[in-house]
Chains A and B, each alone.
Chain A
Amino acid sequence: MPKSLKIYDQAVRISEEYLGPAGERFLRRQISTHLGIEPESISEKDMYKLVDWASLAFALLTSDPREVESFTNNLLLLSTKQKAQRLHGTAA
């Protein structure tokens, strides 16, 4: 499975933990609007920019700052994990 699709899938899973069926639509909107790329082609280097935009948008949906922090951290961890796996030469 292409690594970029794997990152996208994992990001969708994280988004769905908070936004349910609307999670994937939320993520695709952030990627296509703010990053200007095909959502499935997102790579680890795009994640930092995505996290910035996604956390801003996410903060409009909840008044709980802990939720925003948790969502942001989970997406950031995803990027870090992908980078670590790439550096160690193991497939995700």
Chain B
Amino acid sequence: MRKKLYSCVFIVLAVIYVILTATLPTDPEVLRRYQISQQNAHLLTLTLAIPMVLIWLFALYGYLKFYDYSLTIRQSREGRGFNRLSRGLMVLIFSLPFVASMSSVFTYISNRNHSLLPTLTITRNYISLLFPFIAFLLIANGAELLIKTLRPKTLHQAIPKFGLVACIILSSVYTWLITTRPVSSANDIYYLPTVLILTTLAIPYVFIWCRGALAAYHLYMYKSKVKGKIYREALNSLALGMGTIILLSIMLQLLVTVSARLTKLNLSPLLSLIYLLVALTAIGYGLIARGAKKLKQIEEV
């Protein structure tokens, strides 16, 4: 029953997104810059939107498989961990059509009324942070619960030695990108003072990226240390899929950070970059679907 509800809600959100993409007028400045007509702009955005929606539906399929599995083993020792992972994945997946639709609506409103641009941009940035923040915390908690089901002495290996260095490098690079971004009233993507950007956006993003990366590492460790060759093979796909999705999320956010510089590029490289990220998304969710199916099969035979 719940699966049907989730599927219906998700499909409705996806349809809303497609309708918004096909009907909302494009910013005239964008039409002028790339020298395309409104109709061509709609067709172009649909060539991005439709594959994106197909990927989302694929992601939904992967999530529902994983949800099935987590329900099956909810009474077991590792049930809590998989349940948290499932909830985190749900938040992440449902955020895809929601944030995309919200973004389309906000863009349209701000094109019609430029005075609302700062408010809508700030709102969009915080809502875009909220979903991955919740999702990655749930995923990280789930991965920790799983690793705790292993022998206790495994825990002291639970944080990789290079982890601290990687976090420092990541936060330094991200801070540099934010503080050196070219800013004008026309292309600011934050509309906040730098100190607020750093404390309320950059720090939370770096925090969840580090938590997300640690979760991927914990899942890798759980997969490596847990008994059962066949069980490990099924988990392998799941761990790889989660890691791919976490990496993609990080890359997308970095892309947004440097987006002011990317508008200087021609259209083709920008589209290529977006298509590449969409393809990576498909691979990640495909791996999760495959892993969840194999794990479920073990519980069914």
Is B178 in the interface zone, CB < 8 Å from A? no
Q: Contact between A26 and B229 (Cβ–Cβ < 8 Å)?
A: no
Say yes or no: B229 contacts A67, CB within 8 Å.
yes
Instruction: Check A61–B77 contact: CB distance below 8 A.
Output: no
Output the nearest chain B residue to A21 by Cβ-Cβ distance: B78
Which A residues touch B299, using CB under 8 A? 22, 25-26
Q: Which of A19, A21, A57 contacts B76 (CB 8 A)?
A: A21
* Complex interface: chain A residues within 8 A of B231 (CB): 18-23
Is the C-beta of B280 less than 8 angstroms from some C-beta in chain A?
A: no
Cα A60 to Cα B227 in complex, Å, equals 19
Q: Which residues of A lie under 8 Å from residue B149 when comparing CB positions?
A: 21
Hey, what's the 0/1 contact readout for B257-301 against A, CB within 8 Å counting as 1?
000000000000000000000000000000000000001011101
Across the two chains, which residue of chain B brings its CB closest to A26? B298
Q: Is B230 an interface residue, CB under 8 A from the partner? A: yes
Contact B297 A18 (CB under 8 A): no
Are A17 and B227 within 8 A (Cβ)?
yes
Give chain B residues whose Cβ lies under 8 Å from the Cβ of A19. Answer: 228, 230-231, 298
Contact present for A57 and B301 (CB under 8 Å) = yes
List the A residue with the shortest CB-CB distance to B231.
Answer: A20
- Is A90 positioned at the interface, with any CB of B under 8 Å from its CB? no
Chain A residue at smallest Cβ distance from B298: A22
Q: Interface size class for chain B?
A: 10 to 19
- Residues of B close to A26: CB separation below 8 A: 298-299, 301
The range of chain A's interface size is: 10 to 19
Report B167-193 CB contacts with A as 1/0, cut-off 8 Å. 000000000000000000000000000
The answer to whether B228 and A60 have CB atoms under 8 Å apart is: no
Residue A16 lies at the interface, judged by CB distance under 8 Å to chain B = yes
Question: Within A1-34, which residues are at the interface with B (CB < 8 Å)?
Answer: 16-23, 25-26, 29
Task: Closest B residue to A30 by CB, please name it.
Answer: B301
What secondary structure prevails in chain A residues at the interface with B?
A: helix
Is there an interface contact between A61 and B227, defined as CB atoms closer than 8 Å? no
Q: Contact at A20–B228, with CB atoms within 8 Å?
A: yes
Identify which of A16, A17, A22, A25 gathers the most chain B CB atoms within 10 Å of its CB.
Answer: A22
Least CB separation from A24: chain B residue: B76
CB distance from A60 to the nearest CB of B (A): 5
**Cβ-based interface call for B226 (8 A):** yes
Interface pair B297/A61, CB less than 8 Å apart: yes
Q: In the complex the two chains form, what is the Cα distance from A19 to B228 in whole Å?
A: 4
Shortest CB-to-CB span from A69 to chain B, Å, is: 14
- Tell me the complex Cα distance, A23–B299, Å: 9
Q: Give CA–CA (A40, B74) in the complex, Å.
A: 22
**Smallest CB separation, B143 vs chain A (Å):** 15
Provide the bound-state CA to CA distance between A17 and B229, in Å: 7
Instruction: Kindly list chain B residues whose C-beta atoms are within 8 Å of the C-beta of A17.
Output: 227-229
Q: Do A60 and B226 have beta carbons less than 8 Å apart?
A: no
A20's nearest neighbour on chain B, judged by CB, is: B228
Instruction: Tell me, rounded to whole Å, the shortest Cβ–Cβ distance linking B295 to chain A.
Output: 8
Q: Is B42 an interface residue (CB 8 A)?
A: no
Docked complex Cα distance between A25 and B231 (Å): 13
Chain B positions within 8 Å of A57 at CB level: 301
Decide yes or no whether B232 CB sits under 8 A from chain A: yes
Q: A23-B227, A25-B299, A60-B301 are in contact. List 5 more A-B contacts (CB 8 A).
A: A16-B227, A18-B229, A20-B232, A22-B73, A22-B228
28 contacts between A and B (CB under 8 A): A16-B227, A17-B228, A18-B228, A18-B229, A18-B231, A19-B230, A20-B226, A20-B227, A20-B231, A21-B76, A21-B77, A21-B226, A21-B227, A22-B228, A22-B295, A22-B298, A22-B299, A23-B228, A25-B73, A25-B299, A26-B298, A26-B299, A29-B301, A61-B230, A61-B297, A61-B301, A67-B229, A67-B230
